[in-house]
Chain A
Amino acid sequence: MSSVWPRLEPILPRVQKPARYIGGEDGSQTPEHHPAKVAWLLGYPDTYEIGLPNQGLQILYEILNERRDAVAERTYAPWTDLQAELRAHDVPLFSVDSHRPASDFDVFAFNLSAELTYTNLLDMVDLAGCPVVAAERTTDDLFIGAGGHCTYNPEPIAAFLDFVVLGDGEEVVGEITEVLAAWKAARAADETVPRRDALVALAGVTGVYVPGLYEAEHAPDGTLLATRRTHPAAPEVVEKRTIADLAQWPYPRNQLVPLTEVVHDRLNVEVFRGCTRGCRFCQAGMITRPVRERPADQVRTMVERGLRRTGYDEVALTSLSTADFSGIETVVSGIVNGDAPGAASVPPPVVSERIDSESPSDGSPGRDGVGPGSTLDCGAGLGPGLASDISVSLPSLRVDAFTVGIAAEIQRARRTGLTFAPEGGTWRMRQVINKLISDDDLYGAVQSAYSQGWRRMKLYFMIGLPTETDEDTLGIATLAREVVKIGRKYHKNPSVTVSVGGFVPKPFTPFQWFGQNTREELTRKVGLLRDATRRDGGVQLKWHDPRATTVEGIMARGDRRLAPVIEDVWRHGGTFQEWSEHFDLQLWTDALERNGLSVEELVYRHRTEDEVLAWGHLSAGLHHDFLWQDWRDALNEVGLEDCRWTPCYDCGACTGYGIEHVVANAQPPAGGSQGTGRSPAVPVTLGRRAEPAGVA
């Protein structure tokens, strides 16, 4: 077995945080490679601390290693110091599991969760000893693949990828393995079998997009005319994959426990996938439809077994909106009180809690889910030898009193901080984005929180949303001020942190046609808020760098003309662009200019209904008409109820794929279908939609 370890070992004492590169996590595997097996190297194009917890990557790692015809190992982006050392000493990129060189693998597949990591992908492919441009690869080179939310518009990096997966990966990785195993066997028998045969066969797998089999045609002014297939085996439109039943995929079974500290360093159990709240800015909520809940018993088993195996003292129940999980109160109290099935052997007492952000929303500042946590000693009643410090974390909570009630259930002591994400500063704004939280919902939630002992509130907002006026922007300051005022009734010095991020429109959302606010406009709005909150004691304003928001916007909806731009930035040393200490706007503006492209055209301009979008030949199952109508509704400030509990709007995600919501309880949660607990007096224009345009 080849290993780069002997060459890496003398380098590691010279780099920061060498534990990033040693592997050895509990749950890690060193599978036996074989020429007949397809060897996958699963990569995350950011540091180990960010990449290791990625659940998608861990799920595929296990599923592939369970197969007889596949092996899988992992790798993460080497920090800049190690990048330089590897190049200086001619050491290739390696897996952290067995420290094999990347070139020992057949497939190098990336999870893409953030656009700003694209240059890291190029760097990792280069360090792997593989040509970065797909067209330059030869038969013996790696197949470079990608999956994850960013791949719903992979066009900016299409030139670097051999294949792209849309949607859930659980099933499709097996099908890809079979195609590549067959190709490897054919090639073993006949050396002249070309690489292209494998690509053509991959294009026949549902959910797989092979960019090399498509051609983009642009008008002389740059307008995209069409993206057409160039091979009959490639589908005209590539559809996403969706697993129908989460219960069949209780992964990860053996979540990796890193030796060094990472983000989300805790047990994570996914309680459901998909979200139909319909927040119009939220790409995750649009592309992961429908809602598929994990059975509560399975959740409990995964929590119990996971805590016991890992030794973690914290478990997060993850999803896009965990309070919506059917019977969440029962599940949570079951964990908290140790009365889960088989509780006699459960490390029981769960005591404390962390409440983090609301649903993740694109363009918002970092929702890393790391909030102030706390623990409470349960004291008596614990058997000796059992951990008595388990805490439960519920990221992505709604803004309502019900939610605060759950928080109170699991955070019985040290109620320090709670996070809410109203996203918009005024009711009007929140109708536009379909996040139907009234001011009173928020005030009720914070009042409930303050009165039960919490002291610090964190509020997440976006600026640069469609139709936003200065009144909407300043509404953020007004809300924050009111929250402080409520807090003063209960505490001497309540603190409210307001985090503001610039909105980046994403593909397959109703806002995909919206022209993103310019960098200058976002900066101006940040300035408005700074001025407005400066004199307010208790309000702390934080904001995301509008320059980074602009670059994210370039890639979020960019097309194939961006490939040379991304390559240019990478060649000029622009890696780790998602890290503020490495982000360099100048690299991007220079590269755009050298390639004759403008931010104006790529990012700031409103798109038209009939315009060909860069991702038009890909499908998340959502009908174009549905998205366009929802965009018109947004402009008309018309809200839309959650279809989990109401009649279908025919967005296409269920009907198109013959699947349905999997929800244990068909009753909408407390507070109505939007679950906000708002009083009926609030004038909501729900369900009164304008006639769909162009539909009889």
Chain B
Amino acid sequence: MRLRLRFTKRGKVRFTSHRDVARIWERTLRRVELPVARSQGFSPRPKLHFGLALSTGHESLAEYLDVDLVEGAVVDTAALPARLTAALPGGLIATAAGVVAPGTPSLQHAVTSSRWEIEVGGLDLPTLSTRTEALLAATELVMTRQRKGKDVSDDVRPHLFHLRPTAARETGSLLIAELGSQNRGLRPSELVTLLGDGASEGLVRRTHQFTEHDGVRSEPLTPAPHAEARAS
């Protein structure tokens, strides 16, 4: 049986790395004594499957994690988030849990985009608006990025799904962006670079992750809060 969990990463704990968070989850699942399935072989590991890595320092309201449980395990998914949150460090809060139907694609494959709130320093709202319009108007945005130690240039325009500058903040402006994540996608930090001179990255927060299946866009987890799941 595969469980899917949604959790937040906010505050000081956002400075932990993706790998740190994976280790925190391994310990947390042991602490709540969830019967996690383990890989075979000489060096068995708990079977956890993470979605798209969140950059160290960025916050999130919508991180996801799949957990394989041993056969026959019984879990009250409605009560699980609270149990997990109690065992997690501050800033990591489990917000939903649900059972994933067999055959569901992994998070890595399923998630096609994320929505972000990006604090942009150094640009006032009118300037930010002008620059985002220019980005959206472009037919091609070729960007050179490092990949495996080599410079690779490609067009990132297809990954710009949506950009909306909003309320000015103390430090600058806020940009709401939906960015594609498949085929390398575009990271929020890279978007800030594309905004050009003077733009600096403030707090970045992922608010949603989206999947697309047969043209239907949804979030990876729609919990059935009162269902008690039993593995078949």
Taking a contact as CB atoms under 8 Å apart, the answer to whether B56 and A18 are in contact is yes
Q: Return the contact of B73 from the options A384, A388, A413 (Cβ within 8 A).
A: A384
Contact B17 A384 (CB under 8 A): no
- The answer for the CA separation of A12 and B56 in the assembled complex, in Å, is 10
Interface centre among B34, B38, B89 (most CB of A within 10 A): B89
Q: Is the CB of B89 within 8 A of A24?
A: yes
CB of B70 closer than 8 Å to a CB of A: yes
B17, B23, B33: which contacts A385 (Cβ < 8 A)?
B33
- A23–B90 alpha-carbon span in the complex (Å): 10
B185 within 8 A of A: no
Cβ B13 vs Cβ A259 within 8 A: yes
Expressed in whole angstroms, the minimum distance between the Cβ of A98 and any Cβ of chain B is 11
Which of B27, B40, B56 contacts A310 (CB under 8 A)? B27
Q: How far is the CA of A213 from the CA of B3 in the complex (A)?
A: 65
Is A19 in contact with B17, judged by CB distance below 8 angstroms?
yes
**Considering only CB atoms, which chain A residue lies closest to B25 in the complex?**
A311
CB atoms of B38 and A19 under 8 A apart: no
User: Does any Cβ of A come within 8 Å of B31's Cβ?
Assistant: yes
From known contacts A312-B27, A414-B43, infer whether A260 and B16 are also in contact, taking CB-CB under 8 Å. Answer: yes
Interface flags, B24-44, vs A, CB<8A=1, else 0 = 101111110111001010111
The answer to whether A12 and B15 have CB atoms under 8 Å apart is yes
In the complex, which residue of chain A has the Cβ closest to the Cβ of B23? A261
Q: Would you call B44 and A389 a contact (CB within 8 A)?
A: yes
Residue A124 lies at the interface, judged by CB distance under 8 Å to chain B:
no
Interchain CB contact under 8 A, B57 and A259: no
Chain A residue nearest to B31 (CB atoms) is: A311
Of the candidates B20, B24, B35, B43, which one forms a contact with A375 in the assembled complex, judged by CB atoms under 8 Å apart? B43
- Are B70's CB and A311's CB within 8 A? no
Question: Which residues of the other chain, A, contact B44 by a CB distance below 8 angstroms?
Answer: 375-377, 389
Partner of B35, one of A13, A311, A384: A384
Contact B33 A259 (CB under 8 A): no
Residues from chain B with Cβ under 8 Å of A12 in the complex: 15, 57
B14, chain A: closest CB distance, angstroms: 9
In the complex, A614 Cα to B29 Cα: how many Å?
53
B230 on the A face (CB < 8 A): no
Are the C-beta atoms of B42 and A347 separated by less than 8 Å?
A: no
A22 interfacial contact with B, CB 8 Å: yes
**Residue-wise interface mask of A (1-27) relative to B, using a CB-CB cutoff of 8 A (1 in contact, 0 not):** 000010000001100011101111110
Cross-chain contact B30 with A311 (CB below 8 angstroms): yes
Number of interface residues, chain B, beta carbon within 8 A: 34
A261–B22 alpha-carbon span in the complex (Å): 11
Q: In this complex, what residue of B is CB-closest to A10?
A: B202
Q: How far apart are the CA atoms of A385 and B13 in the complex, in Å?
A: 27
* Residues of chain A contacted by B29 (CB below 8 angstroms): 311
Question: B46 near A: Cβ within 8 Å?
Answer: yes
Which B residues touch A385, using CB under 8 A? 33-35
Specify which chain B residues have a CB less than 8 angstroms from the CB of A313 in the assembled complex: 26-27, 30
CB distance from B47 to the nearest CB of A (A): 12
- Are A388 and B38 in contact, CB atoms less than 8 angstroms apart? yes
By a CB distance below 8 angstroms, the chain A residues around B201 are 13
> Are B20 and A19 in contact (CB-based, < 8 A)?
yes
Q: Is B149's CB within 8 Å of the partner chain A?
A: no
**Given contacts A260-B20, A375-B43, A377-B38, A18 and B33 within 8 Å (CB-CB):** no
User: Complex: how many Å from CA A388 to CA B33?
Assistant: 10
Known: A259-B16, A311-B26. A26 touches B72 (CB 8 A): no
CB of A374 closer than 8 Å to a CB of B: yes
Q: Which residues of A contact B162 (CB under 8 A)?
A: none
Taking CB atoms, residues of chain B closer than 8 Å to A25 are 89
Judge if A387 is at the interface, Cβ distance under 8 Å.
yes
Are B38 and A389 touching (Cβ within 8 A)? yes
Interface residues of B in 34-79 (CB under 8 A from A): 34-35, 38, 40, 42-44, 46, 56-57, 70, 72-73
A257 nearest in chain B by CB position: B27
Chain B min CB distance to A199 (Å): 37
Q: Which residues between 375 and 400 of chain A lie within 8 Å of chain B, taking CB atoms?
A: 375-377, 384-389
**Is B91 positioned at the interface, with any CB of A under 8 Å from its CB?**
yes
- A–B complex contacts, Cβ < 8 Å, 26 sampled: A12-B57, A18-B15, A18-B57, A19-B20, A24-B13, A259-B24, A260-B17, A260-B20, A261-B19, A309-B31, A311-B29, A311-B31, A313-B26, A347-B30, A374-B43, A375-B44, A376-B44, A377-B38, A384-B35, A384-B72, A384-B73, A385-B34, A385-B35, A387-B30, A389-B38, A414-B43
8 other A-B residue contacts (CB within 8 Å) besides A19-B17, A377-B44: A19-B16, A22-B16, A24-B13, A26-B89, A311-B30, A377-B38, A389-B44, A413-B42
Residues of B within 8 A of A (CB): 12-13, 15-17, 19-20, 23-24, 26-31, 33-35, 38, 40, 42-44, 46, 56-57, 70, 72-73, 87, 89-91, 201
